[in-house]
């Protein structure tokens, strides 16, 4: 009789423990709502990973997208572009949302992103804002330039 009571108590405890785990797990997982520009880029370019509501990365492309927070101030090499990166901004004067690239090569710009300025925060070399193979603007290391025309890719030259 005692053995049956112990088994019943253990079984009841197991049922309560199993039932409590999903509730605790779901409460611990925060829901991240991305900025609309981030959500649009994630939908257009496969392989993106949402980091927080203002930041996503595409590891295979070595590309990042950042939607600046109004009060966010951080140390950057050229405007909002981190040291060693090349950045494409959707506003003139290296402002607004931006894509950043950490490797030197030819980087395609997604069609939903309109480039208005490019920053070259590398220590050497040149970045070219291009439409296809046509160079629209050359940007020296440590500077940024406003762009005109439709920028479809950015080429980094060492």
- What pLDDT digit, counting tens, does each position of 132-157 carry? 999 999 999 999 999 999 999 999 99
- What pLDDT digit, counting tens, does each position of 1-38 carry? 455 444 444 444 444 444 444 444 455 678 888 999 99
CA separation, residue 45 to residues 27, 37, 65, 106, 129 (Å): 30, 12, 11, 16, 20
* Location of structure tokens 């490019």: 118
Residue 92, pLDDT > 80, answer yes
Residue 78, pLDDT > 70, answer yes
* Location of structure tokens 């019943």: 8
Query: Percent of the chain beyond pLDDT 70?
Result: 78
> Are the C-beta atoms of 104 and 156 separated by less than 8 Å?
yes
CA separation, residue 157 to residues 59, 78, 128 (Å): 21, 18, 8
Q: Mean pLDDT over all residues of the chain?
A: 84
The Cα 83–Cα 76 span in angstroms is 6
């Amino acid at each position: 009789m005692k053995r049956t009571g112990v088994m019943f108590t253990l079984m009841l405890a197991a049922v309560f423990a199993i039932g409590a785990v999903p509730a605790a797990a779901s409460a611990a997982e925060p829901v991240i709502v991305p900025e609309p520009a981030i959500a649009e880029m994630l939908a257009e370019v496969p392989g993106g990973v949402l980091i927080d509501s203002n930041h996503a990365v595409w590891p295979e492309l070595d590309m990042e997208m950042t939607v600046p927070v109004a009060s966010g101030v951080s140390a950057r090499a050229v405007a909002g572009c981190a040291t060693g990166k090349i950045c494409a901004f959707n506003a003139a004067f290296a402002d607004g949302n931006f894509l950043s690239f950490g490797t030197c090569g030819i980087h395609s710009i997604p069609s939903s992103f309109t480039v208005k300025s490019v920053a070259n925060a590398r220590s050497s070399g040149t970045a070219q804002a291009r439409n296809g193979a046509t160079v629209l603007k050359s940007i020296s290391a440590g500077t940024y330039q406003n762009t005109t025309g439709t920028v479809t890719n950015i080429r980094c030259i060492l």
